[in-house]
């Protein structure tokens, strides 16, 4: 019966896909040249035209690889990195540590970048960089890094802020003008759509000819599609998830400070539930935790990811199941968070209706000014604290949960050497300037120390089958779990459609649950 249903679903998919594009993009496009108004000590860039050299790359065939599936068989690779020394995908970190991964066996070991054709000379050129409105790209330290690159290479960097929700669309439109962006910051959710649409340059041959020891090759390989590489990740290509917490609220409630508990080795999920059950008051609309916890990597496995060019679904992995049960405990059985998601969970936290809010560390520049103007924080940003998320004992590799990986890529049609030169510079850059709204030095040092260990993203890549995608399915699945449905039953119900999305995007029909 199950096979018959699967066959009928497949037939429906075929007819559906005939009338749908594989990766439909939003029609509204907003591109603006960054004017650095967000920066302290801002310095406007030159408006002269881009005269950097362009080089078209021929398409390469991708070869044949298989899709991997993990089905409740313990901890599979799940996209985990090895020794990930990273906490800032922009590269603007105070950490001076380099990646511990070194060269993978397939990369070259040359001391310096060996350029293809003539040597790369950026003197007098204008280099274009496409970022999003995310806060990490609008800080004093990121601007300082740009200035240092301009000084070293005698060029001008012109930064463009694109809408996060239509990033690929805007990259596509820029490409259509014949003047693609030289450097693109590609979020994991824009992959593999970007290379499938031909938006980003194939970097594979270039990576063979350069020293990759300063890159994190595990993260870099999550931007491979088949056997081709479309982006590189430096030592700051992910951000750790953290609890932002209201110190004033903790103090007024007589609760022990989370950071103090962490420093004393007493910060655990048991402590979170103990404090949460003592202070959560649904009648007053006050909850210990914010309503935005939907993370399935707390136990050390990504739910869906790309490992060395191969999609991998870990939805049925025992550690994904354990993370889903933790979500259910937070919002259902122990109810220390609001079961129905708030429309704006950050606003609830800033208003003092949550003790703690979960997001990655890159959001600090956005949250800082909100806390500064909030009476719930006594209008003092010093009351905005951060503390790491405790890792369950079952997370045996102590793989710390992070957000999506973010790669440095080259717009298709640009000279890929420019993006790779930028990536090399970023990988070894040491920030000497920080804005007042950036993480305090002690907090940044803590983030760096966290990322020196093993890390694991929540997920990587968005897969579509013509009528839905894995992001939509993920939201639906976690909602069902938080409302109390049996976790295993929910996973079983969604597993087949997740598999269809990956199989269709990947181009393989051999994707069955074991």
Report yes or no: 115 and 251 within 8 Å, Cβ to Cβ: no
Can you state the angle between helices 470-482 and 487-506, rounded to 10 degrees? Answer: 180
| pTM higher than 0.85 | no
Neighbours of 103 (CB within 10 A): 15
Q: Which residue has the higher pLDDT, 109 or 396?
A: 396
417, with CB counted inside 10 A (0-12, 13-18, 19+), is: buried
- The per-residue pLDDT for 32 is 54
Token pair for 248: 């004033």
Residue 455 tokens, joined:
């890390």
pLDDT at 115: 52
Nearest 5°: the CA angle 85, 383, 240 is 20
Question: Which option is the CATH number for 241-400+460-506: 3.40.50.300, 3.40.50.720, 3.40.190.10, 3.30.420.40?
Answer: 3.40.190.10
CA terminus-to-terminus distance, the chain: 17
Q: How far is CA 126 from CA 150, 181, 245, 321, in A?
A: 9, 11, 42, 49
DSSP per-residue letters across 327-358: HHIIIIIS--B-SSPPTTHHHHHHTTSEEEEE
Percent of the chain past pLDDT 90, that is, above it, reads: 69
* Pairing assessment for the beta strands 304-307 and 183-187 based on DSSP bridges: unpaired
State what percent of residues in the chain have pLDDT above 70: 76
The predicted pLDDT at position 117 comes to 61
Strands (E) in 146-199, as ranges, are 156-162, 183-187
C-alpha to C-alpha distance for 262 and 258, rounded to whole angstroms: 6
- Residue 506: what pLDDT? 87
Question: Which option is the CATH number for 30-64+88-237+403-442: 3.30.420.40, 3.40.190.10, 3.40.50.200, 2.40.440.10?
Answer: 3.40.190.10
pLDDT, one tens digit per residue, over 153-208 is 999 999 999 999 999 999 999 999 999 999 999 999 999 999 999 999 999 999 98
Measuring CA to CA, how many Å separate 287 from each of 121, 331, 340, 353, 446? 57, 10, 12, 6, 27
pLDDT at 140: 95
Cis peptide before 304 (omega within 30 of 0): no
| Cα angle: 107, vertex 398, 276; to 5 degrees | 140
Question: pLDDT grade, residue 93 (50/70/90)?
Answer: very low
**What is each CA distance from 478 to 312, 317, 334, 426, 495, in whole angstroms?**
19, 15, 17, 36, 13
Is the pLDDT at 80 greater than 90? The verdict is no
**Which SS3 state, helix, strand or coil, does residue 406 take?**
strand
Asked if residue 50 lies in contact with residue 57, where contact means CB atoms within 8 angstroms, the answer is no
Residue 414's pLDDT is what? 96
Mean pLDDT of the chain: 81
Spatial separation of the C-alpha atoms in residues 160 and 35, rounded to whole Å: 9
How many angstroms separate the CA atoms of 415 and 288, rounded?
50
Measured CA to CA in angstroms, residue 103 lies from 208, 242, 306, 309, 456 at distances of 10, 30, 19, 17, 20
Domain with CATH 3.40.190.10 in the chain: 30-64+88-237+403-442, 241-400+460-506
For 497, the enclosing helix (H) or strand (E) is helix 487-506
pLDDT bracket for residue 509 (50, 70, 90)? low
> Mind listing the pLDDT tens digit for each residue in 21-65?
333 333 334 455 443 333 444 443 333 333 333 333 333 333 323
- Ordered DSSP codes for 217-279: HHHHGGGEETTEE--B--TTS--BEEEEEEHHHHHHTTPPPHHHHHHTT---HHHHHHHHHHH
| Of 474, 464, 460, nearest in space to 407 by CA | 460
In this prediction, residue 249 carries a pLDDT of 97
| Cis amide bond preceding 413, omega within 30 | no
With contact defined as beta carbons under 8 Å apart, do 408 and 233 qualify?
Answer: yes
Report how far residue 467's alpha carbon sits from residue 472's, in angstroms, rounded to the nearest whole number: 10
What pLDDT digit, counting tens, does each position of 293-308 carry? Answer: 999 999 999 999 998 8
CA atoms within 13 A on the CB side of 51: 11
Distance of CA 209 to the CA centre of its chain: 27
pLDDT value, residue 500? 93
**Over the stretch 309-361, which tens digit does the pLDDT of each residue have?**
889 999 999 999 999 999 999 999 999 999 999 999 999 999 999 999 999 99
Q: How many beta carbons lie within 10 A of that of residue 430, not counting itself? A: 11
Dihedrals phi, psi of 464, to nearest 5 degrees: -130, 150
Residue 366, token pair as written in the block:
């956005």
* Alpha-carbon radius of gyration of the chain: 23
pLDDT at 40: 45
Place 210 in a pLDDT band, splitting at 50, 70 and 90. Answer: confident
Residue 97: count other Cβ atoms within 10 Å of its Cβ: 14
Tell the residue number behind the tokens 């041959």, with chain if given: 205
pLDDT at 279 over 50: yes
Which range is least confidently modeled, 116-125, 176-185, 287-296?
A: 116-125
Residue 52 CB neighbours (<10 A):
20
pLDDT band at 378 (very low <50, low <70, confident <90, very high): very high
Mean pLDDT of the region 488-502:
95
């Amino acid at each position: 019966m199950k096979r018959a249903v699967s066959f009928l679903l497949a037939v429906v998919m075929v007819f559906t896909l005939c009338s749908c594009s594989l990766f439909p993009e939003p029609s509204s496009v907003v591109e603006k040249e960054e004017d650095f108004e967000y920066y302290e000590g801002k310095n406007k860039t030159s408006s002269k035209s881009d005269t950097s050299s362009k080089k078209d790359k021929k398409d390469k065939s991708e070869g044949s690889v298989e899709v991997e599936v993990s089905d409740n068989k313990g901890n599979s690779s799940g996209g985990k990195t090895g020794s990930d020394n990273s906490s800032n995908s922009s590269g603007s970190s105070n950490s001076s540590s380099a990646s511990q991964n070194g060269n993978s066996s397939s990369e070259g070991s040359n001391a310096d970048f060996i350029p293809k054709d003539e040597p790369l000379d950026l003197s007098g050129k204008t280099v274009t960089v496409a970022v999003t409105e995310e806060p990490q790209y609008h800080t004093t330290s990121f601007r300082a890094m740009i200035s240092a690159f301009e000084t070293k290479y005698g060029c001008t960097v012109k930064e463009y802020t694109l809408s996060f929700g239509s990033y690929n669309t805007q990259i596509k439109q820029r490409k259509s003008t014949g003047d693609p962006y030289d450097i693109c910051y590609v979020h994991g959710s824009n992959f593999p759509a970007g290379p499938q649409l031909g938006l980003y340059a194939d970097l594979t041959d270039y990576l063979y000819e350069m020293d990759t020891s300063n890159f994190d090759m595990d993260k870099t390989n999550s931007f491979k599609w088949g056997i081709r590489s479309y982006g590189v990740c430096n030592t700051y290509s992910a951000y750790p998830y953290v609890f932002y917490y209201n110190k004033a609220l903790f103090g007024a409630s007589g609760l022990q400070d989370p950071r103090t508990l962490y420093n004393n080795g007493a910060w655990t999920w048991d402590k979170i539930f103990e404090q949460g059950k003592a202070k959560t008051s649904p009648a007053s609309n006050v909850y210990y935790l914010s309503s935005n916890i939907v993370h399935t990597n707390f136990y050390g496995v990504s739910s869906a990811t790309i490992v060395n060019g191969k999609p991998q679904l870990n939805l049925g992995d025992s550690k994904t199941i354990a993370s889903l049960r933790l979500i259910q405990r937070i919002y259902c059985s122990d109810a220390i968070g609001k079961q129905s998601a708030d429309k704006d969970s950050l606003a609830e936290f800033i208003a003092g209706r949550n003790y703690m809010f979960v997001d990655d560390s890159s959001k600090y520049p956005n949250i800082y000014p909100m806390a500064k103007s909030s009476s719930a924080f006594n209008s003092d940003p010093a009351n905005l604290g951060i503390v790491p998320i405790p890792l369950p004992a079952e997370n045996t590799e102590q793989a710390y949960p992070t957000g999506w990986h973010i790669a440095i890529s080259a717009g298709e049609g640009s000279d890929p050497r420019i993006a790779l030169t930028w990536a090399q510079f970023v990988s070894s850059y040491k920030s000497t300037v920080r804005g007042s709204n950036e993480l305090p030095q002690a907090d940044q040092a803590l983030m760096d120390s966290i990322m020196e260990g093993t890390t694991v993203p929540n997920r990587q890549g968005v897969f579509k089958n013509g009528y839905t995608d894995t992001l939509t399915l993920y939201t639906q699945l976690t909602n069902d779990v938080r409302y109390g449905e049996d976790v295993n039953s929910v996973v079983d119900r969604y597993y087949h459609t997740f598999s269809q999305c990956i199989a269709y995007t990947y181009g393989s029909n051999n994707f069955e649950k074991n």
